[in-house]
Amino acid sequence: MHRRRGSAYQLLKLVEDSGEVGFWWLDLETGRIDGSVGLLRITGLMSDAELHALFADLVHPDDRAMQADILDILQRGHPVSRTFRIVRPDRSVRWVRLKGQVVLGPAARPIRAEGVLFDVTLPQEATLLAEENRLRYQNLTRTLAAAEWTASPQGQRRPSASWQALTGQAGPDQQGDGWQAVLHPDDRAMAAGAWQEALIREGTLDTDFRLRCADGLHRRYNCRVTPLRDGRGHVVEWLGILLLGLSGGAGLAASAGQPLPDVTPALVRAARALLDWSAPTLAAAAGVSLSSVKRFEAEGMVRDATRRAIREALEGGGIRFHRDPSGEAGVLAAKGAASRPPLAPAQRPVPKAPEALTSAG
């Protein structure tokens, strides 16, 4: 038994050495409170004689009214679990979580309470900061955005209450490609293509389109989407907002951005997706071998002439490679580009920018 008690004491001491937990014992008949070294460390008190303040003066003034019944609850034989702030003698503020249970004596009368006090300052402040940030984001988007929405890492749209309020489209109908149903018919292909491009390159989206609102009228909105990444850089969610009366510029004007001096494998894959071209289709349009296309998209290692032929084939199909004002590389598709049959090399004109990029105008 002595060895077991010694082991229990060493275990409690090990727990207390973390600096974030302390133990207390309250005699419900005399009102005497005893505390462990860890409890004194958390509260900043010097001795057990001062521990009566744990249930009174030590409690933050703004929290006292809500915690004034702790002793009464224990006296009646009920357990307690509360989280509140204390003001230590050095005037520093700590968040603590107090838990206590009651020991009954003869005639089932409460005679003693014992419990634990956790210093939860860091997690509590992190929770409060996260909540403040959430409310700040919520208030900001409600002020600036007509609607907001999220999507899975793979781009699967989730139902949005604000989207439903704006368009009248029910949550289940927004999922998959359903959200496109409330876009202006002339803008659907462009918006869908821009979204697919952003997914492929895992980059931001800034484009405009017209949306049929709940009142049946079409209004122009600027759609901005950005990926939310984890610590390893992986996309864990997509965040999107609609802004009324703003123009992103980069997604609609033929003169938007700056020409790219060269193309990358990621841009070529995005361009193929916009045109709905397979790798064999691109190879045939460029007049190069299928293995060259696959090698370029996988490694980017091909001859300059092959690279140039691939770019010209895509541009001949209605693609424009560009760099937006922020310097990010992107791909634009000419209106109706996805429905055009690819041109053989001999049929293509001298490469130039598409004469009419998709517009919401």
Cα–Cα distance for residue pair 337/361, rounded to 1 Å: 17
Alpha-carbon dihedral angle through residues 179, 184, 188, 189, given to the nearest 10 degrees: 170
Per-residue pLDDT of 300-321, as tens digits, reads 888 888 998 999 898 888 887 7
Domain finish residue from 125, 157, 181:
125
Closest CA to 287 of 263, 264, 314, 269: 314
Is the pLDDT reported for residue 349 higher than 70? no
Query: What's the pLDDT at 359?
Result: 33
Structure tokens at 78: 């009920």
Per-residue pLDDT of 255-296, as tens digits, reads 334 455 578 888 888 888 888 898 999 999 999 999 999 999
User: Under 8 Å CB-to-CB from 174, ≥6 apart: which residues?
Assistant: 149, 157, 158, 159, 160, 163, 164
DSSP strand pairing (147-151 vs 329-333): unpaired
Query: What's the pLDDT at 255?
Result: 35
Q: Where are the beta strands (DSSP E) in the chain?
A: 21-27, 33-35, 80-87, 93-104, 110-119, 147-151, 205-212, 218-229, 235-244, 258-259, 319-323, 329-333
Is the pLDDT reported for residue 335 higher than 90? no
Q: Which residues form the domain of 64? A: 2-125
Per-residue pLDDT of 224-264, as tens digits, reads 999 998 888 899 999 998 886 544 443 333 333 445 557 88
Whether residues 285 and 336 share a domain: the answer is yes
Closest CA to 328 of 247, 246, 241, 266: 266
Whether residues 262 and 239 share a domain: the answer is no
Is the pLDDT reported for residue 86 higher than 70? yes
Q: Is residue 130 part of a domain?
A: no
Cα–Cα distance for residue pair 106/128, rounded to 1 Å: 44
Domain finish residue from 244, 272, 293:
244
CATH of the domain at 205: 3.30.450.20
pTM over 0.95: no
Structure tokens at 280: 């064999």
Q: Is residue 115 part of a domain?
A: yes
Cα–Cα distance for residue pair 161/170, rounded to 1 Å: 8
Average pLDDT over residues 8-12: 60
Query: What's the pLDDT at 351?
Result: 41
Per-residue pLDDT of 147-204, as tens digits, reads 888 999 999 999 999 899 999 999 999 988 899 999 999 999 999 999 999 999 899 9
Whether residues 158 and 111 share a domain: the answer is no
Whether residues 67 and 162 share a domain: the answer is no
Lowest mean pLDDT among 55-59, 93-97, 185-189: 55-59
Whether residues 160 and 49 share a domain: the answer is no
Give, for 127, the enclosing helix (H) or strand (E): helix 121-144
Q: Is residue 335 part of a domain?
A: yes
Whether residues 118 and 152 share a domain: the answer is no
Whether residues 22 and 61 share a domain: the answer is yes
Whether residues 21 and 120 share a domain: the answer is yes
Domain finish residue from 209, 244, 279:
244
Is the pLDDT reported for residue 19 higher than 80? no
Lowest mean pLDDT among 38-42, 69-73, 239-243, 321-325: 321-325
Average pLDDT over residues 53-61: 83
Whether residues 10 and 90 share a domain: the answer is yes
Whether residues 28 and 113 share a domain: the answer is yes
Average pLDDT over residues 67-82: 91
Closest CA to 81 of 94, 100, 59, 64: 100
Q: What mean pLDDT is reported for the chain?
A: 80
Is the pLDDT reported for residue 125 higher than 90? no
Query: What's the pLDDT at 183?
Result: 94
Q: 3-state DSSP call for residue 43?
A: helix
CATH of the domain at 264: 1.10.260.40
Domain count, the chain: 3
Q: Is residue 21 part of a domain?
A: yes
Query: What's the pLDDT at 110?
Result: 93
Q: Is residue 330 part of a domain?
A: yes
Q: Is residue 356 part of a domain?
A: no
Query: What's the pLDDT at 318?
Result: 81
Whether residues 107 and 202 share a domain: the answer is no
Q: Is residue 138 part of a domain?
A: no
Q: What percent of the chain has pLDDT over 70?
A: 77
Whether residues 91 and 151 share a domain: the answer is no
Q: Is residue 235 part of a domain?
A: yes
Of the two residues 330 and 116, the one the predictor is more confident about is 116
